[in-house]
Amino acid sequence: MTMSARSLRQRGFTLIEVMLVLAIIGCLSVLCIPLFQRFAARARKAELNNVLGKLELAFRNNYQATGNYGNFLLTPGASPDVDAEWDPPLPAGPGAAWVDSPSYKTFPFPPDGAMHLRYKYTVSNNGKTLTLQAQGTFIGIPNWTYTQTFQDGQAPLPATEVPSL
């Protein structure tokens, strides 16, 4: 059986068809990648607000009960000042789990699921100053740090982000 010249030419794609498909894929990626990055950033911000909100609530409740932020999360607690370790420990990123470390033994509502940022608290000034921090890669920025400070049970000081977004 012989194939005609016309059927041999129609076996593959032409260069124009391949270039058109690549152009369409390029246009879709230009539109979709920034959207994906914004959704990922919103998810990180939601995680940050959730975890730091739980920590803030626990420390504010302790402040109302005892008059200082204290180190009630430590087991046992001696001094009201504490510089807790980062949780989850290195490396934070996709899928890091919350660790029940000594500085978080009595944390009432530990986060569950995969953590994408690391968290830390510092109590200083004889239990009157609380600093909450989150750190990690955020919107492609490595070593991004968010810091929120509370003093004497007052409204929080303005948050700082380094580098700022």
Instruction: Specify if 89 maps to a domain.
Output: yes
Q: Which two tokens stand for residue 46?
A: 């939601």
Tell me the C-alpha to C-alpha distance, in Å, between residue 43 and each of 36, 114, 139.
11, 12, 11
Instruction: Specify if 79 maps to a domain.
Output: yes
Q: Is pLDDT above 60 for 2?
A: no
- Read off the pLDDT of residues 16-32 as tens digits, 9 standing for 90 and up: 999 999 999 999 999 99
Instruction: Specify if 6 maps to a domain.
Output: no
Instruction: Specify if 71 maps to a domain.
Output: yes
Q: Is pLDDT above 80 for 118?
A: yes
Instruction: Specify if 10 maps to a domain.
Output: no
Number of domains the chain contains: 1
What does the alpha-carbon distance between residue 41 and residue 138 come to, in Å, rounded to a whole number? 7
What residues form DSSP beta bridges with 111? none
Instruction: Specify if 31 maps to a domain.
Output: no
- Read off the pLDDT of residues 136-152 as tens digits, 9 standing for 90 and up: 887 777 788 899 999 98
HSE of 69, CA atoms in CB hemisphere, 13 A? 26
Query: Dihedral of the CA atoms 121, 89, 117, 80 (nearest 10)?
Result: -10
- Whole-model pTM? 0.75
Instruction: Specify if 135 maps to a domain.
Output: yes
Residue count of the chain, please give it.
Answer: 165
Looking at residue 6, its pLDDT comes to 55
Instruction: Specify if 28 maps to a domain.
Output: no
Range of the domain at 135: 42-162
